[in-house]
Amino acid sequence: MAYEDIKKAWQERKIEKKEDYETALDNFKIIFAYNSGVIENPEITYHNTREIFKNGKVINFTGDLRTIYEIENQKKCYDFLIQKIVAREPITPELIREIHKKLTAGTYDQNRWEKGERPGEYKKHDSVVGDGQGDMPEEVPNDMVQLCEEIAEIPDKGENILKTAAYLHCKFENIHPFADGNGRVGRTLMNYYLMIHNYPPLVVANETKDLYYGALMIYDKTGE
């Protein structure tokens, strides 16, 4: 089914209340969390993701605990954002930092921790991203304010919405404001923007990650 058809079906449902979103996103939230996680962590499985979302636990898990934290964090972030989506709260630097804090709690390794990096805080050290380096740490706060202001000023109608969501994700990854977790935050922001404008959210499938990363690299090189 084409995205335009999905959008039409989504908007015809008149999703407005928290209960409406819970029904509409019942399966999607698990599929999104799984794919958004496994793109970066191959230990994440659909089964474990579903167990955590449905039952709050995984039985007989023997892998890296960070994997469980990452899945749990996806659920906590979803629960945190759902009411904000209902209220159509705009994207702000404060919201972005809180999303990052939710998604990366308990996942920063010792090396990052010793360097002073923390979930929910902008990076304190430079980092290499693909063919670029992202922003220098001192540039991040101002650039994040500018990005949020720019997004708020783009007319939110017609095809602008889908294009703006894609631009938001690409520009956010280009800035690379955090020491870790930028991809998970960027994909979440993209869907948050879509849903507060009554557009259905998207899944970046693990099977298409090469195309996905390729598109981000093209933006890094060309700005388009």
Say how many C-beta atoms besides its own lie within 10 A of residue 196's C-beta.
19
Confidence (pTM): 0.93
Six-digit token string for 26: 């019942």
DSSP tally for the chain: helices H, then strands E? 11, 0
Q: In the structure, what pLDDT confidence band is assigned to residue 114 with cuts at 50, 70 and 90?
A: very high
Residue 108 confidence (pLDDT) above 90:
yes
Decide: 30 and 49 in contact? Cβ < 8 Å.
Answer: yes
> Environment class of residue 4 by beta-carbon count within 10 Å: exposed (0-12), middle (13-18) or buried (19+)?
exposed
Residue 62 confidence (pLDDT) above 80:
yes
Helix (H, G, I), strand (E, B) or coil at 163: helix
Q: In sequence order, what DSSP letters do the residues of 186-206 get, joined into one string?
A: HHHHHHHHHHHTT-------G
Residue 48 confidence (pLDDT) above 80:
yes
CATH no. for 9-117+128-222: 1.10.3290.10
- For residue 121, what pLDDT is reported? 98
Average pLDDT in the chain: 93
Helix (H, G, I), strand (E, B) or coil at 7: helix
